[in-house]
Structure 1
Amino acid sequence: MKVATSYVSAALVACSTFASASYALAASASPQNVQIGFAAPLTGGQAHYGADFRSGVELAIADMNATKPVIGGQPVQFVLNAQDDQADPRTGTTVAQKLVDDGVVAVIGHYNSGTSIPAAPIYAKAGIPEVAMATAPSYTRLGLPTTFRLLTSDTQLGSVLGEYVAKGLKFKRLAIVDDRTAYGQGVAEEFAKAAKAAGATIVDQEYTTDKAVDFRAILTKIKSADVDAVFYGGADTQAAPMLKQMRSLAIKAVLIGPDMLQSENLIKIAGGAAEGTLAASEGSPLAQMPGGSAFAEHYKAHFSKPVELYAPYAYDGTMAVFNAMKKADSTDPRVFLTALKSTNMKGVTTSELSYDNYGDLKYGGVTVYKVANGKWVPLQTVGTK
């Protein structure tokens, strides 16, 4: 028995010595660069969304590199390959192919549903996971194994807002305008279904584009319908001038929309016309996130500015990719993809970040906000964990 014990002890010491030597050898080697792809609008009217999104990815990469990671016995350094898709579907597919050709192992992006959806088959063919900000329900229903979502889908976002407006605020006569993008149209449809199910009536439905700046013809028609509220499916780039034009036409209806609180942009542009505006946004307010306060301090120390909106979600999604690589002990996307699918981690935004079989978040959550005294004030949060 003594001999056996001594043998085992010696074997353990030898293994430990070998492991330490192997780690030291790996640590002394030059790190291998591993590219993380990123795609979002970095120019044009939605550039402020893209910049906010990108900052979360950059911070996650900086934090991961600070740990001096060794994966598959090789020291690695993650580098960002950021591309501007201009919120344009055609540019999005061009950018997607470039990222694949450049050899990225994962893509955090795209931002828009209209770019994420056509780009998805390109990444899937290469076996590269795409962790997108896209909220259109169809994004994760393409039948592809590589699609993941950073935020709650429009199904939940539109549903929560539609029910809240009809039941909570008792608004019964509603008009809907959408910008005909995959995102705007999708969230408007979900809002309409939920509002009607809760007892409201859609008395007018109008359409515009995500490049429009003059909405007076649409608004004049809406004014004659005597509505309680106008829902706009689109971005704050159009919602802000729409609000100002509503007030100039003496339309007293409340403007309602999803995701209009980025960078305080709507309030900056619309000024006092924004008072009373409602918006729903995915997830919880930063202060209510499990890791929100610590992240806010860390972010400010790194970038010398406060967190805006999307950075915490981008950070969590990027960290989920890193954790999958560590779990699989590989930077090969075809190897770590399975580990990514089984993600279950505590993040900044949620106490349990995990995906369902489609790649949707199991616990997304939605918060309804209102502009009061020039600030977005949270009214209600549902579905978080």
Structure 2
Amino acid sequence: MLSHLRPYLRLSAFICGPSLFLLLSACGPKPETPPAVSNEVVVTIGHAGPLTGPISHQGKDDENGVSLALDQANAKKLVIGGKTVVFRIRSEDDQGDPKVGTTVAQKMVDAKVAAVIGHLNSGVTIPASEIYGKAGIPVISGSATSPELTERGLKGVFRTVGRDDQQGPAIAAYIANELAAKTVAIVDDKTAYGEGLATEVAKALKAAKVNVIAHERTSDKETDFKSILTRLKSRSPDVIFVGAMDFTGGPMLKQARELGLKSAFAFGDGACTDEMAQLGGPATEGLACSQAGLPAQAASKEFLAAFNAKYGETKLYAPFFYDATNVVIEAMKRADSTDPARFLPEIYKTSHAGATGKIEFDAKGDRKDAEMTIFRMKGGRIVPVSVMRGGISSPIS
């Protein structure tokens, strides 16, 4: 019936076919454009320390030092391995507890951080570093001073401060010479840090012919020290050296004065903070203490200006954690890689002009030529009075 129209239909199909194809092509889905290849890589640097609990003020100070270094690096838009690196911090709270510290360490490994800056306490850093070592992740502490940390032959473990077997003799020499002590009593908190430092101080005092008449032990959880102090009062030592952190040392000194104990007190770096005045009140005036490095006040002007503007005054270790972070970044730049397997060997070759002076490491991962500083509490602030380099003490005018 439509036979007379067939020639026209064939012509219509011939004419409209290509047009219809073009129309459908224009209306149909377009081919996907391949995504642009990113020229950025995110690199995570871990920080671990006590962010809650009685020494959280120190842990947060350290975290701020790491954050400042990473912020400054990001501002430079560093190109490593052909890509612009964006650094991120992963900060974990180890609560100053060795068991929590190992859990934190495994979390860092699972998160594939490039390096860890921490931990604060020697007793936490030592077991945690075993986990980092097995994973090939470098760890640099800006505060752990126990010799054991770097005496285990574990690769990839470093510190930007000195050791207790350097710090111990320094404060012992000050006790013997400047405090003119003939008799000294020792107290430690049973931690790797407190016990280790107390042992080194006792050893150095005995070598200097100072009579160590007692060695008492408490714990880092104790708050009542009256029984220990009562026993020490009966011995009347010229000086009492306490190996503990400030949250232990401050209350202990306060209780000692309440009991009428007249002995001078000396401490290591864990209690060498302005917080001692808050924790122990007027009783802390005149205490002596040591730090395993240059005082924070002696850090570079550039660091202090940047840190103080963002976070306020540093508590204690922030400059050393800041330097530790920059040591890692510089190693990455030299290796042209953010892969720990490639940049870790470069850390051993470090020669870095940091906020705390020149940083170089020996084969164990210890900082070479670390200075020791002696402080006294004056008017509620710890004030540096002398710096010891290579066994030679230089007064600070």
* Counterpart check, 1:236 vs 2:246: yes
Deviation at 1:307, TM superposition (A): 2.4
Q: Give 1:381's aligned amino acid.
A: V
Is the 2:129–2:157 contact (alpha carbons within 8 Å) kept by the matching residues of 1?
yes
Shift of 1:263: 5.2
Please say if 1:376 is aligned against 2:382: yes
- Fraction of identical pairs, as percent: 43
Q: Equivalent of 2:130, from 109, 117, 121? A: 121
Indicate the residue corresponding to 2:196 in structure 1. Answer: 186
The residue aligned with 1:9 is none
How many correspondences in the alignment?
355
Q: Amino acid of the residue matched to residue 133 of structure 2?
A: A
Shift of 1:86: 0.7
Q: Give the match's secondary structure for 2:274.
A: helix
CA distance 1:382–1:262, change in 2 (3 Å): closer
- Equivalent residue letter for 1:48: H
- AA aligned opposite 1:185: E
CA distance in 2, matches of 1:287, 1:312: 10
**Structure number with bigger Rg:** 2
Stretches of 4+ aligned residues off by more than 6 angstroms: none
**C-alpha displacement of 1:143:** 0.9
Identify unmatched segments of 5+ residues in structure 1: 1-27
SS of 1:364's partner is coil
C-alpha separation in 2, matches of 1:99 and 1:260: 25
Match of 1:295 among 278, 299, 303: 303
Describe the SS at the equivalent of 2:366: coil
Report if aligned partners of 2:246, 2:273 keep a CA contact under 8 Å in 1.
no
Shift of 1:294: 2.2
Aligned equivalents of 1:327 and 1:195: distance in 2? 44
For normalisation by structure 2, the TM-score amounts to: 0.87
Q: Is the 8 A contact 1:93 1:119 kept in 2?
A: yes
The offset of 1:259, in angstroms, is 1.6
Partners of 1:319 and 1:92 lie apart in 2 by: 23
Mapping 1:76-87, distance limit 5 Å: 76-87=85-96
Deviation at 1:95, TM superposition (A): 0.5
- SS of the residue corresponding to residue 230 of structure 2 reads helix
Following superposition of structure 1 onto structure 2, how do residues 247-266 of structure 1 map, counting pairs within 5 Å?
A: 247-260=257-270, 264-266=274-276
CA shift, 1:372, in A, is 2.2
Aligned residues of 2:266 and 2:287 also touching (Cα < 8 A): yes
User: Do the aligned partners of 2:181 and 2:239 also contact (CA within 8 Å) in 1?
Assistant: yes
8 Å CA contact 1:235, 1:260 repeated in 2? yes
What letter corresponds to residue 186 of structure 1 in structure 2?
Answer: G
**Alpha-carbon shift at residue 295 of structure 1 (Å):** 1.4
Residue 272 of structure 2 contacts residue 289 of structure 2 at CA under 8 Å; is this kept in 1?
Answer: no
Question: Could you say what secondary structure the match of 1:192 adopts?
Answer: helix
* Alignment of structure 1 residues 72-221 onto 2, 5 Å: 72-132=81-141, 133-221=143-231
- Report the more deviating stretch, 226-235 or 161-170: 161-170
Partner of 2:352: 345
Distance 1:148 1:249 in 2: 42
- Tell me the CA shift for residue 308 of structure 1: 2.4
Please list the CA deviations of residues 47-89 of structure 1 after superposition, one character each: whole Å capped at 9, or x if unmatched. 1110011110000000001111111111110100111111111
TM-score after normalising by structure 1:
0.89
Secondary structure in 2 matching 1:346: strand
